[in-house]
Amino acid sequence: MLAALGWGAVAAASLLLGTLLALGRRWRAGLVGGVLAFGAGALISSVAFELAQEGLDVGGPLPVAAGVAAGALAFFSADRAVERIGGRDGGRPGGLPLALGALLDGIPEQAVLGIGLATGQGISVALLVAVFVSNLPEAIGSASDMREAGTARSRILALWAAVAVVCTLATVGGYALAGVVGGGLQAGIDGFAAGALLVMLVDQMIPEAKEKAGDRAGLATVLGFAVAAGLSTLS
């Protein structure tokens, strides 16, 4: 259990690191867009080589498909709620959708890490690095947007600290539930994370990366995909 807590904290630490980097200095819009594009490529690789493939291997296509649908609907519904809150306040969501995506992706993803620990599969250093590669841009992009929207630094830091804590606890939860979680449920968890990520990528992350980084966004996305795919191969 302590190992799950420790590794979960390591995996989630990149969310806080990205937030601190965003709050420590003002990032040019083009640089934020490039970071977001790189992260989008890394997340696409995560969906293809980590979540979907792992789900298919342990539970087959039906649980993965059900999880993808549930994850997509969950992010879509929660994102609409965030937009309505922003609209009532007379402002923009200011990075909240990216934080929401990190949460909906991070909980099932880190729960799978805990399940792997409990079942003796261990933790791959390459996989942990891949989590860092995908988490950092989400946190940097979201915290930068929230800062530009006028959100207080203390609120930004508190939000991302809460996301990191919840994701860490998800690793412990996965470890605790490993004895009763079958392959079908694990596949559904993988699918849920994949579905939430795909909707977040298309609706939020990629359009913002393109808007801020321009034509360079595509190249940065390919680079992020290549790095994360290489790490997945190593793991």
pLDDT at 89: 46
Q: In terms of residue numbers, what domain contains 188?
A: 2-234
pLDDT digits (tens, 9 = 90+) for 3-59: 888 988 988 998 999 999 999 888 888 998 998 899 889 889 888 888 888 889 989
pLDDT at 92 over 90: no
| The pair of three-digit structure tokens given for residue 7, joined into one six-digit string | 């590794």
Task: Say which residues have a Cβ less than 8 Å from residue 160's Cβ, sequence separation at least 6.
Answer: 15, 16, 18, 19, 99, 139, 142, 143
| The pair of three-digit structure tokens given for residue 104, joined into one six-digit string | 């909906």
For residues 168-184, give the mean pLDDT. 83
Quick check: pTM over 0.85? no
| The pair of three-digit structure tokens given for residue 234, joined into one six-digit string | 């190593």
For residues 145-158, give the mean pLDDT. 89
pLDDT at 124: 56
Instruction: Say how many domains are in the chain.
Output: 1
pLDDT at 93: 58
pLDDT at 175: 85
